[in-house]
A and B are shown apart, each in its own frame.
Chain A
């Protein structure tokens, strides 16, 4: 059994050339309407054993850059000009851009010299082949190993990426793995032939922060162990600050700034980089709008009081005895990792689910109190006018067959409040309120960007003058520069309309920026509730402490991993019936 750590070091470079040199790369997509340049005159190089982070917002061309290197650009994209020089240990250089994308030469580079891992580990692994099958494939192909050798090697690889019980895990399928394990398996697969360069395309975006931290640690450990270079693509400046040696900032296919990580974060030259860093740092503190507000009246009667709410799906306790209250005008954050039950909580409040047990006392404007968990029919309909929701996915939550004015006006129409000209005026006013140009109201959602669509979703939520808005990961799908604009909009509307928010998010930065109080959820239970400042900076519960410790700080000078730890549930609670 060979081990990545014990493998003989590759012969030292005879020259001091970088491992990979990209010069004036242009990648184009011929479209019906003309040619779209996804990557425009891009030059950078990667040194052996170093990490280059390519950062940029969606549509910046960072993924296309990575795929150009291996010539696996999705059709109809192609490299139009430029060169991608791979300097090999024997001193020769290979221009990858000149190779035939289907030819033998580039295929022998793929997986052997340069390997790649992707964003969504579930869909990046075949659903009908075992993990072992997919790992051994590369070994058999490039290293010409026998079946038995490849299997032993694959088990050893799985062990190195810390998959428990690798002898068994090798014969299991991707869907039987957890998200973090899948990405570990992908890494094992990519590292199978000990590549000189690992390209990682947003490898941790789909993972929880604690899992992300572990995967990042794993990559950097393996990288050190055999001097592999890493090209890391991400949109998360926190991750960049933690792992990068050099940073390439991309925007609309063009390199905005390219330099050492220290320079990018502490003396950025380019205005776009400054804006990007600025919007990240902005989320490190309280929003200005909130600082200007008078303190919240904590003596007021709660608008919504949730008592012992439980929601079970069969055996699974998605919500387990949760109690929390919401004051008028307050922003209550609900934070937790995937599967913690935070979305179930939002949906139960909206009565999209019928809770298994518990009470939700909602105080109406006239002072009467109703239990949202019990009501039905007309009462529920009336309550839903006052409780509205903003969803995560700005693409999926708008009907593509309805114009924006139809989307926003629908609640008014359905409830018989306005029609015709009056409806049109209301829609125009709402669009102005959320910062959209009313003259675009006859367009369909596809004509709008992600941030604009989320504004449409918000306009739809406030049409009926609600009192509570449940925002379920409302800014997760948005780029950082857009994210705080939407958050600011939500807070401005809160001041104008006197709204209370229940703000569900996995992003502590967003919570810190936006929320007055925070509830932390873990496996269906609310483990900690407190002031946002306190929970984000000095949490009491060990789970919250672990969660906070795993968040990558957007400062390359602050790379202390030693304080990071993973929360394990005390065994007493684990044996209890409530744990799962």
Chain B
């Protein structure tokens, strides 16, 4: 087991290099660079930048050097002293920018994950056990709605309802007075009052799909002979349900951890923009549009690292919970 983990960790290194290089190249592929975008932005507000200033800017950012040199410099900075470079657009270190956003992203993602699992798993089990009952049909109807409504639309509608009907302050995660304030009890409470809307919106579609998956998993397991064996032993329905079929039906969810982690950053971009949430996703989009390559590169690298770590974690967990994988 330990050997397996070490081997996997070792293989992550070349994967990360390959992905970071690819990401770097891809970000540079579109014609122009950050300076071009910057000039274009200035031009739209009637400021003219002459060629000299542009060349100076390029020199300052190191954009005049060949791509490979830029890449190696960037990677060298990361490897030697954890320096991910400076964001051109924000004129701040990339790492600071990202970490600032990651905390809130994490809060939001975890909250919606917990809401999703807490709702979807019991409902999925109920739907499977009471197949074709009125309750099952009701939840099935809900899941089809949840799956078919785009979440940004739901966001717009809920924002409208909350703002117009209930006079709630929607959008963002904080009220204006707390936006830049240091952390306090009041700010925490303010966060909670703002959090429910994005969490609800994000949870609806994922809950819907998770209910379907859980229901199908359970329906696969319920008619298995080992369930009958447990029943013939005299276990109560609830106990045997939790101990046997549910335990096995949950295994596929462990595999989903592999893409849960990268979803922290890249998931729910549209909702985050619609709701004006200070999470990582809008920053990522902005950095790509502005060709802010160190920021974008760091994001891509982070997503990649999270994917690799996520799949390692899910593999380890799967081996832990399923002896068939561990021992065969």
Contacts and interface: CB of A to CB of B under 8 A. Distances in A.
Interface of A: 67, 70, 72, 74, 102, 107-112, 115-116, 118-120, 123-130, 134, 137-138, 141-142, 173, 175-176, 186, 189
Contacts of B324: 127-128, 173, 175
B322 A72 contact: no
A110 B236 CA distance: 11
Contacts of B327: 173, 175-176
14 contacts: A74-B223, A107-B234, A118-B225, A120-B225, A125-B229, A126-B229, A127-B226, A127-B248, A129-B243, A130-B323, A134-B229, A141-B234, A175-B324, A189-B233
Contact of B247 (A112, A123, A128): A128
7 A-B pairs with least C-beta separation: A111-B234, A110-B234, A111-B233, A116-B232, A124-B225, A107-B234, A123-B225
Contact of B248 (A70, A108, A128): A128
A175 B232 contact: no
A404 B295 CA distance: 64
Contacts of B323: 127-128, 130, 173, 175
B284 to A, nearest CB: 39
B235 A137 contact: yes
B60 interface: no
A329 to B, nearest CB: 44
Interface in B216-259: 223-226, 228-237, 243-244, 247-248
Contacts of B47: none
A193 to B, nearest CB: 9
Contact of B231 (A110, A125, A142): A110
Interface residues of B, number: 24
Contact of B236 (A107, A123, A126): A107
A138 B229 CA distance: 11
A107 B233 CA distance: 8
B231 A72 contact: yes
A130 B323 CA distance: 9
Nearest to B233: A111
Contact of B233 (A67, A128, A129, A138): A138
Given A70-B232, A123-B225, A129-B247, 12 more contacts: A74-B228, A110-B234, A116-B229, A123-B226, A124-B228, A125-B229, A128-B247, A128-B248, A128-B321, A138-B233, A138-B234, A175-B323
A116 B225 CA distance: 12
Contacts of B225: 118-120, 123-124
Nearest to B240: A137
Contacts of A72: 228, 231-232
A108 B229 contact: no
Which one of B226, B244, B322 has the greatest number of beta carbons of chain A within 10 Å?
B226
Nearest to B232: A116
Contact of B244 (A110, A126, A142, A173): A126
A124 B226 CA distance: 4
Contacts, number: 83
Contacts of A115: 232-233
A116 B237 CA distance: 17
Interface of B: 223-226, 228-237, 243-244, 247-248, 321-324, 327-328
A289 B237 CA distance: 56
B229 A141 contact: no
Given A74-B223, A120-B225, A123-B226, A107 B235 contact: yes
A102 B232 CA distance: 11
B234 A123 contact: no
B233 A123 contact: no
Contacts of B232: 70, 72, 110-111, 115-116
A120 B228 CA distance: 12
A173 B323 CA distance: 8
Nearest to B223: A74
Contacts of A175: 323-324, 327-328
Contact of A110 (B223, B233, B248): B233
A502 to B, nearest CB: 33
A128 B121 CA distance: 20
A115 B231 CA distance: 10
B229 A118 contact: yes
Nearest to A142: B234
Contacts of A126: 226, 229-230, 244, 247-248
Which one of B234, B244, B321 has the greatest number of beta carbons of chain A within 10 Å?
B234
A176 B326 CA distance: 12
Contacts of A120: 225
A290 B231 CA distance: 50
Contacts of B231: 70, 72, 110
Contacts of A127: 226, 248, 322-324
A112 B229 contact: no
B234 A108 contact: yes
A224 to B, nearest CB: 23
A126 B227 CA distance: 8
Contacts of B230: 126, 137
A518 B225 CA distance: 37
Contact of A141 (B223, B224, B233): B233
A128 B234 contact: no
A127 B323 CA distance: 8
B220 to A, nearest CB: 13
Which one of B233, B243, B248 has the greatest number of beta carbons of chain A within 10 Å?
B233
A112 B228 contact: no
Contacts of A138: 233-234
Contacts of A67: 228
Contacts of B223: 74
Nearest to B224: A123
Nearest to A118: B225
Nearest to B237: A102
Contact of B235 (A119, A124, A130, A141): A141
A128 B247 CA distance: 8
Contacts of A70: 231-232
Contacts of B247: 126, 128-129
A124 B231 CA distance: 11
Contacts of B237: 102
A147 to B, nearest CB: 15
A130 B226 CA distance: 13
Nearest to A175: B324
B229 A124 contact: yes
Contacts of A141: 233-235
Nearest to A123: B225
B231 to A, nearest CB: 5
A189 B324 CA distance: 21
Contacts of A74: 223, 228
B321 A112 contact: no
Nearest to B247: A128
A112 B224 CA distance: 22
A276 B87 CA distance: 85
A110 B323 CA distance: 28
A111 B234 CA distance: 6
A74 B247 CA distance: 21
B2 to A, nearest CB: 21
Nearest to B222: A75
Contacts of B228: 67, 72, 74, 118, 124
A244 B322 CA distance: 41
